[in-house]
Amino acid sequence: MLKGIPQIITPQMLYTLSAMGHGDSVVLADANFPAYRIASNHTLVHIPNISICEMLKALLQVFPLDHLHESAGYVMEVDSEDQRRGVKTPIWQEYSEILRKDNNKSKQVLGSYSRASFYAEALKAQLIVLTGECAPYANLMLFKGVLN
């Protein structure tokens, strides 16, 4: 245990976050994300009893967001079949509220990638945190910035 480090950030996460460089990414993954396949060459931490919102709040206490990206965070776009079925993504509003508190107000808070692009970007992520989040389309990608 360390002072000032949220308890849900594991030692392995802290090490990986610390070793990441500017522009490296972390994926906060929902329970349905193919994390074991995607993270085959990178660090995977499985914390099944935590929501992505809880993890995001903790992560932002130690993780500077990249101001060079167009958005503070990125979600996976709802595919056309799920749009036809009426799948909703209320969790995105929660992410926006959390990120807005930590974000430069002139920047778009949430951007999105198509499913294929999100998976392609996730393959490059240095860290994937597999949570117990069950909300649809809850995966969130963040890019590391620099400390001022």
Q: Which positions are annotated as active-site residues?
A: 22, 66, 119
The answer to whether 59 and 9 have CB atoms below 8 angstroms apart is yes
Amino acid sitting at position 73: G
E strand residue ranges, the chain: 25-29, 43-47, 71-76, 108-113, 127-131, 140-143
Coil, helix or strand for 35? Answer: helix
CA distances from 84 to 30, 75, 77, 78, 139 (A): 22, 19, 13, 10, 20
